[in-house]
Amino acid sequence: MPTKDHYLSDAPPREEIDTLQGPALLEFGTDWCGYCQRAQPALAQAFASYPGVRHIKVEDGSGRPLGRSFRVKLWPTLVFLRDGREVSRLVRPSDAAPILEAMAAIA
């Protein structure tokens, strides 16, 4: 699956995330965040190698329940899931290598 262009303002409920099947990357951030923008080329590179990983890109902020349920503090936060369970996470990744390593663990 290709990387998503924009963060979803309407996040899916946590119950839906918890029941996902297969590998997924839950990305928390905002379109205006500089760290989030800088991470996009590395994410695109990783998704080119792992096209079967589902990408859920969620806009985060104060009072957003999904981000709070994952205890997100900084953007972007990448939560790597396998069958709805968190396997690992990265905060503010600067290159593709750690993303690729985390994707390999869930794929």
Question: Distances from the Cα of 69 to the Cαs of 5, 59, 79, in angstroms?
Answer: 24, 14, 12
pLDDT of 3 reads 57
Report the percentage of the chain scoring pLDDT > 70.
Answer: 96
Summarize pLDDT for 79-106 with one digit per residue, the tens.
999 999 999 999 999 999 999 999 999 9
Rg for the chain, CA atoms, rounded: 12
Measured distance CA(18)–CA(42) in Å, rounded: 26
The model's confidence at residue 43, banded by pLDDT at 50, 70 and 90, is very high
Domains and CATH numbers, the chain: 14-106 (3.40.30.10)
The DSSP bridge pattern shows strands 85-91 and 54-59 to be unpaired
Average pLDDT over residues 6-30: 96
Report the percentage of the chain scoring pLDDT > 90.
Answer: 92
Average pLDDT over residues 13-37: 97
